[in-house]
Amino acid sequence: QSALTQPASVSGSPGQSITISCTGTSSDVSDYKYVSWYQQHPGKAPKLMIYDVSDRPSGVSNRFSGSQSGNTASLIISGLQAEDEADYYCTSYTSTSVIFGGGTRLTVL
Amino acid sequence: EVHLLETGGGLVQPGGSLRLSCAASGFTFNTYAMSWARQSPGKGLQWVSTISGRGDSTYYADSVMGRFTISRDNSKNTLDLQMISLRVEDTAEYYCVRGPGLAVTGQGSRYFYYGMDVWGQGTTVTVSS
């Protein structure tokens, strides 16, 4: 099945902005129109942060935003806070499957 | 309050079987596609399977195709995952998940959209001799 590539780790200082990329490797990944992003703290269930590339579910801070260029989607976190330290996963879809990226560990310095 | 509660995890020998269940509450269950996702110890998230709201369409990851069966009972608001021929590499935390969205085009084909917006706390499956 298709794969989504994320950097293994990113880091930033409080107050800074960071970007996590998610690059598709197959032309079959639903034109990347429906990329979503999840946050997972250690020992906790994942939480939906962004869907359909750039939309935020109710209750998610507007410090989190999403964008896309070609086959690369990005999660941008502005005004980094200590609580943002977590693992982040992107997903996209083929016509018959859900594809997760490998995950990115965000460290807030 | 929207809630998903998984049960049925445990220790099973390679080649064995296990059935996971998920009880849903707080939303109109039959209007949502439902999924199972898993996470092996220290590893990333992996999608396992999705079933449409009416239960008439099912989708599986290549790694579980032919061994796992997803089903739902909309009268009881429950989602199940029957797992047979279990392998050591199936060891993971299994999550019951609401979503993703599943829509139909004018030509009758289905496509995924939106995201998986509600997750249970997970149930642990360990496959070991």
- The per-residue pLDDT for range A61-86, each reduced to its tens digit, is 999 999 998 889 999 999 999 999 99
Cα B11 from Cα B127, distance rounded (Å): 6
Q: How does B75-103 read in b/e, with b if 16+ C-beta sit within 10 Å?
A: eebbbbbebeebeeebbbbbbbbbbbbbe
CA A57 to the chain's CA centroid: 14
From A64, A66, A65, select the one nearest A81 (Cα to Cα): A64
Judging contacts by C-beta atoms under 8 Å, the chain A residues touching residue B61 are: 1, 97
List residues bridging with B8 in a β-sheet.
none
A44 token code pair: 């906790």
Q: Rounded to an integer, what distance in angstroms lies between the CA atom of residue B37 and that of residue B125?
A: 12
Count CB neighbours of B9 within 10 A.
17
Burial class (CB in 10 A: 0-12, 13-18, 19+), A27: exposed
d(CA B48, CA A20): 24
Pick A45's closest partner by Cβ from B46, B111, B120. B120
Mark the ranges of chain A whose per-residue pLDDT is less than 70: 1-2, 26-32
What pairs with residue A43 in β-bridges?
A: none
* Predicted local confidence at residue B105, as pLDDT: 85
Is the Cβ pair B112, A34 closer than 8 Å?
Answer: yes
Please say whether the beta carbons of B84 and B67 come within 8 A: yes
HSE value, Cβ hemisphere, 13 Å, CA-based, for B104: 8
Q: What 8-state DSSP symbol labels residue A101?
A: B
CB–CB contact A91 B111 (8 Å): no
Please tell me the distance from the alpha carbon of residue A38 to that of residue A73, in angstroms, as a whole number: 13
3-class SS of residue B56: coil
Q: Report the residue from B45, B47, B119 with minimal CB separation from A97.
A: B47
pLDDT of residue A71: 85
**Cβ–Cβ gap B112/A30 under 8 Å:** yes
Q: What is the pLDDT along chain B (129 residues), one digit of tens a residue?
A: 999 999 999 999 999 999 999 999 999 999 999 999 999 999 999 999 999 999 999 999 999 999 999 999 999 999 999 999 999 999 999 999 999 999 888 888 888 989 999 999 999 999 999
Distance in angstroms (rounded) separating the CA atoms of residues A7 and A84: 17
Sort residue B55 into left (φ over 0), alpha (ψ -120 to 50) or beta. left
**Spatial contact of B52 and B41, defined as CB atoms under 8 Å apart:** no
